[in-house]
Amino acid sequence: MPSFKYIALNNKGAKVRGNYTAATASDVAEMLKHKKFFPVEISEDKGYKDSEGILSRFTKIKAKDLAVFCRQFQAMLNAGIPIINCLDIVQQQTQKKKFRVIIADIYEQLQKGYTFSEALKQHADTFPNIMISMVETGELSGNLDVIMTRLAEHFEKEFKIENKVKSAMAYPVILVIVTILVVIFMLTQVLPTFVSMFESSGVELPLPTQIMMSISDFLITKWYILVFGVGVIALAMTKIETSSEMRIKQDHFKLTKIPIYKDVSVKIISARFTRTMATLIGSGVELLSAIEVTSRVTGNKYAENILGKVADDVKKGVGMSEPLRRYNLFPPMIPSMIKIGEDSGALEDILDKTADFYDEELDTAIQRLTSMIEPIMIVVMAVVVGSIIIAMMMPMFDMVKTVK
């Protein structure tokens, strides 16, 4: 169904602009008349489909985009601007085309009579569960502006966590890519130039050189097998990602078995759990719903599975701290702090302070991880490249001995 841009005059004579999805321009005109608007101009928005189709494949809405959206929305709500007008203004200010298309669709849904939270649910792949649940609570309680402030703070902190992790992994990833490119270049471009010289010398090639020449020949003549193998591995990884049982085992392995990485993983889910729970409980979301929503934002299927069991125990009337301690998902500090919060009635404040603590702990863990990975990667790169060079030089030493 096409989208139409329109310009209309409201009952005060002010211009109103927007987008509306309909079968024909006449349907848009009918909608405007029903709202007691006078249509001035209606035209098909041909860029809408392009944005929605092509850009959506390559553009991702990040936590930073959501934080900016919530900040702008909250500022306008505080100024007394109606929600539908807030959306219209935010849509015009948003630079990312895909996000602008989504906001335009939400604007249309509100014009059709949907609530803000119902419109957000139609874009659940863009707006996370925490936002939809909190907006729904804000609509019921009438404090949507406060909710949007909390959401903005939450997404800003989530963006910082994402940036910390990406920054920590950027250098090792670059080193791995550079190492692979250097090895491929040396084996496919440099080593073959020595092959004819080695073969004409009559010198028996050492085993390391023979191995390197075999690898070089494989990369040059049978590279498609390597590409196929990489494709199979990628497909297998995709299957693991889509299989709940395999994903749970994989994420459990990350949390418990990888010596260097597990400390960072535990602190990431600890920071996300405490921060999200504090935000939800402080916004008036009931405890069971808060646990359910939080389980989905940890980014770990094993943690999500365990938090589901915690929710089942809470339904039976057990406090949250007891099952968290029993399942041993988080460090002992978290169930202990939650117990204090439950007994004192200040669970939100306790969780918020615990989240601040784990944010700092995460910084330290990431710095420690980076300081350990960097020298390891440099040594690995030196060993791999050095092995190729040594394998190339060994026959040359034997040739010199033969000449003497």
Furthest C-alpha separation in the chain: 103
- 175-213 pLDDT, tens digit per residue, is 888 888 888 888 888 888 777 777 676 667 788 888 888
DSSP state of 332: T
Cβ-Cβ contacts under 8 Å for 134 (sequence gap 6 or more): 147, 150, 151, 279, 280, 283, 285
- 321-339 pLDDT, tens digit per residue, is 999 999 988 999 999 999 9
CATH top-level class of 171-403: mainly alpha
DSSP states of 95-113? --HHHHHHHHHHHHHHHTT
- 263-278 pLDDT, tens digit per residue, is 888 988 998 899 889 8
Give the whole-angstrom CA distance, residue 202 versus residue 238.
49
Q: What is the mean pLDDT of residues 130-145?
A: 86
Q: What is the mean pLDDT of residues 55-69?
A: 75
pLDDT on residue 403 = 53
For the chain, give the mean pLDDT: 83
Give all strands of the β-sheet with 15-21 in edge-to-edge order.
15-21, 3-9, 38-44
Among the listed residues 98, 75, 95, the one whose alpha carbon sits nearest the alpha carbon of residue 85: 75
pLDDT on residue 54 = 47
pLDDT at 20 over 70: yes
Contact indicator for 49, 2 with CB cutoff of 8 Å:
yes
Give the whole-angstrom CA distance, residue 96 versus residue 72.
15
pLDDT higher at 23 or 139: 139
pLDDT higher at 52 or 38: 38
Q: What is the mean pLDDT of residues 226-245?
A: 83
Do the domains spanning 61-157 and 171-403 agree at the CATH topology level? yes
Going by pLDDT thresholds of 50, 70 and 90, the confidence category of residue 350 is: very high
pLDDT on residue 18 = 76
- For residue 86, give Cα distances in angstroms to 10, 74, 76: 16, 9, 6
How buried is 36 (Cβ within 10 angstroms: 0-12 exposed, 13-18 middle, 19+ buried)?
Answer: exposed
- 263-319 pLDDT, tens digit per residue, is 888 988 998 899 889 888 888 888 888 898 888 888 888 999 999 999 999 998 888
- 220-231 pLDDT, tens digit per residue, is 888 889 889 989
DSSP state of 257: T
How buried is 173 (Cβ within 10 angstroms: 0-12 exposed, 13-18 middle, 19+ buried)?
Answer: exposed
pLDDT on residue 366 = 83
Q: What is the mean pLDDT of residues 341-363?
A: 89
Among the listed residues 72, 223, 65, the one whose alpha carbon sits nearest the alpha carbon of residue 155: 65
pLDDT on residue 165 = 79
pLDDT higher at 348 or 198: 348
pLDDT on residue 47 = 54
pLDDT on residue 50 = 45
Q: What are phi and psi of 44, to 5 degrees?
A: -70, 135
pLDDT at 137 over 80: yes
CATH top-level class of 61-157: mainly alpha
User: What b-and-e string marks burial along 302-328, b requiring 16 or more CB atoms within 10 Å of the CB?
Assistant: bbbbbbeebbebbeeeebbbbbbbebe
Q: What is the mean pLDDT of residues 7-14?
A: 79
Give the whole-angstrom CA distance, residue 62 versus residue 126.
9
Going by pLDDT thresholds of 50, 70 and 90, the confidence category of residue 52 is: very low
Q: Where are the chain's structural domains?
A: 3-48, 61-157, 171-403
H/E run at residue 368: helix 347-403
Place of tokens 């791995």: 176
